[in-house]
Amino acid sequence: MSQYETIIAETPVERVRLIKLNRPRQLNAYSTRMCEELCIEIDAYLKDDALRALVLTGEGRGFCAGGDVSSADEDRDDLMQQQMSHGREMRDGMHRVIQALHHLDKPAIAAINGPAVAGGLALALACDIRIADEDAKLGDTSGRFALLPDEGGAWLFPRAMGLDRALKMTMLAETYPAREAQTLGLVTEVVARGEALNQSLDLAQRIAAQSPLAVRLAKGMMTTSMDMTLEQSQREAALAVMVANPSKDVAEGVRAFFKKETPIFTGH
């Protein structure tokens, strides 16, 4: 287990990294230090080929309540004394975290065990898949403090739920129960209370058993195609095929199929 002040990072099962936001008294509201530690751990996950899936969750009864407005962030106090303080706080803080998750070519799953609001919702949406406890709440509460969806929500929210619904959510500072959030496009799957982490770890294990090469290439193809035409996406796919098809993983998949065995993929 890695030693951090605001997160817990461990590998509870082979090939799966688990990160827990660890400020439970603040419902895991993010701080300057938490953002720094998340960036370190996400980068370590990206660079470790032995790790094939990431699960992100919160310690205690919350996933993430957004930015900390309780004045309990001592690191922020120092940052506010510097030039361009508020801009640097966003650029060097949660902006870096959201971008790190968004640009990952390896899978990330959000296990939403409680409130995921404002920046916490942006954090969940930066992951590829979101599994939520049935009693979790999701939404954008930033407007209650006259704040903005500035962590990445202005980009992520409309893409997940449509512009009209995102505007309504943000302008009225709305939150939704997990099942309603699922119908709105904010949640992938809703599970029984207390099961989000277990279900996410199970899903991560199943993904980790697949070819890491195919998983990473497929994720890259799909995420980049969101801003491409069909023809552009197909050109990118043709290039990716030149990497995937000659790989040892494809040969192993074909071999295991005809032998009726479980393939063992190495990512080569």
| Residue position matching structure tokens 């992520």 | 156
Q: How many CB atoms lie within 10 A of CB 75?
A: 17
Which whole number is the average pLDDT over 101-130? 97
What is the C-alpha to C-alpha distance for residues 226 and 23, in angstroms, rounded to an integer?
34
Inform me whether the pLDDT recorded for 11 exceeds 80: yes
What's the confidence (pLDDT) of residue 62?
96
What separation in angstroms does the CA of 175 have from each of 67, 131, 161, 207?
Answer: 16, 17, 13, 31
Q: 14-61: per-residue pLDDT in tens?
A: 999 999 999 999 999 999 999 999 999 999 999 999 999 999 999 999
What is the C-alpha to C-alpha distance for residues 98 and 159, in angstroms, rounded to an integer?
15
Lowest mean pLDDT among 6-10, 88-92, 96-100: 88-92
Q: 153's torsion region: left (phi>0), alpha (psi -120 to 50) or beta? A: alpha
What's the confidence (pLDDT) of residue 268?
85
What's the confidence (pLDDT) of residue 85?
47
Number of H helices, E strands in the chain: 12, 9
What is the C-alpha to C-alpha distance for residues 66 and 117, in angstroms, rounded to an integer?
6
CA torsion sign for 199, 156, 6, 115 is negative
CA angle 175, 180, 186 (to 5 degrees): 75
Which DSSP symbol is given to 127? Answer: S
What is the C-alpha to C-alpha distance for residues 129 and 179, in angstroms, rounded to an integer?
15
Which DSSP symbol is given to 37? Answer: H
At residue 131, φ and ψ (nearest 5 deg) are -110, 125
What separation in angstroms does the CA of 215 have from each of 110, 196, 249?
Answer: 17, 22, 11
Q: 137-171: per-residue pLDDT in tens?
A: 999 999 999 999 999 999 999 999 999 999 999 99
pTM across the whole model: 0.91
What is the C-alpha to C-alpha distance for residues 145 and 166, in angstroms, rounded to an integer?
18
